[in-house]
Structure formats: C-alpha cells, structure tokens
C-alpha cells in the first residue's frame, strides 16, 4: 500500500511538471509593423472612403478598400530597403498620394522562446502632396511596440467638405 501511495505521488508530480511545460513561452508580439495615424492640424481625423495599397508589393497588396480609417499599419518588406504605398481618396477631385519609405532591416534576437524578429530603421521618406500636407516620423526605429510611429498630416478642407 505504501509503495502504491508513493507511486501515485510520483506520477502526479511528474504529470504536473509536464503539464506546466510549454514550448510556446513567447507571448510578445513578434511583428514590427509601423502604425500610421491621420491628422489635420493638431486633431486626429478619420478619412472616409480611403483605399491604401502597397506599390510593387507581391500582388500589389490591398491594405484598405474604401474604408473609414483613423490609423493603418503599413508593413515593410524584409527583402527590400524601400516600400511605397498609394493613398487613393476615391474622389475625382483629389489625385492619389504616394508615400515612400527607405529603411534598414536589422534582425534582433528576442529570446529562446520567441527567436528573432526584425526592427526597421526609417532613413528617408518622401511623399506627394495632393491631399497630404506633411509626414512626420515620430519613431524612426520600428519595433514590435504597438504605438504610432508615422503621423500623416492632411491638408485642411473647407467646412462643406467631408473628412
């Protein structure tokens, strides 16, 4: 009986230790994707009917299709040092804008469980000025932190225009 009790305790302890192990100890976000937010003056704005797509991306990636947006993630590519995005306002009176970023991708070891991820350092950027007034890079090093790294300022509209 004593041997059976001891065996039961050992079996339970072993089972508990095995259940506590996990091969997925990585709870961090492993994606470094820049978040862009939209502004007019000092106010955050929502743009209606905005279509955003990647230029020369595989399949010319469509990120938003005639959507109402205050923010959007603009993914950078690991196998390139430059990426461009087209902002189409779906308005015959306003030509689309193109926003281009040049950057360096650097692999960063996170941990044994998480492995490596890439950080992107924005080195240059340029944009057309059809509806965009300015682009400010709030954080030139894009990591996996979920924060606004790119601030896109749009030109002021008259009172009868829709945001």
Domains of the chain: 31-154 (2.60.40)
- Predicted local confidence at residue 22, as pLDDT: 45
Q: Positive or negative, the Cα torsion across 79, 84, 89, 91?
A: negative
Place of tokens 């469980």: 113
pLDDT score for 161 = 44
Q: How far apart are CA 28 and CA 9, in angstroms?
A: 36
Are 155 and 131 spatial neighbours (Cβ–Cβ below 8 Å)?
yes
Write down the pLDDT at residue 29.
56
Give the whole-angstrom CA distance, residue 97 versus residue 87: 5
Q: What is the pLDDT of residue 57?
A: 73
Q: What is the pLDDT of residue 56?
A: 84
Q: For residue 87, is pLDDT > 70?
A: yes
Name which residue leads in pLDDT, 141 or 18.
141
Question: Tens of pLDDT along 25-44?
Answer: 565 556 789 999 999 999 99
State pTM to two decimals.
Answer: 0.77
**pLDDT averaged over the chain?**
82
């Amino acid at each position: 009986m004593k041997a059976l009790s001891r065996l039961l305790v050992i079996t339970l302890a072993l089972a508990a230790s095995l259940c506590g192990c996990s091969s997925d100890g990585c709870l961090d976000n492993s994606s470094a994707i820049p978040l862009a937010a939209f502004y007019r003056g000092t106010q955050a704005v929502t743009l209606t009917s905005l279509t955003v797509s990647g230029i020369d991306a595989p399949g010319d990636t469509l990120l938003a299709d005639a959507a109402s947006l205050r923010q959007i993630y603009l993914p950078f590519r690991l196998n390139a040092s430059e990426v461009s995005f087209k902002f189409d306002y779906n308005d015959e009176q306003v030509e689309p804008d193109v926003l281009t970023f040049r950057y360096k991708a650097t692999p960063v070891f996170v941990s044994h469980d998480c492995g490596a991820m890439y950080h992107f350092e924005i080195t240059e950027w340029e944009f057309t000025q059809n509806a965009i007034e300015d682009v400010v890079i709030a954080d030139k090093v894009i990591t996996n932190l979920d924060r606004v790294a790119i601030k896109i300022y749009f030109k002021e509209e008259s009172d009868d225009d829709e945001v």
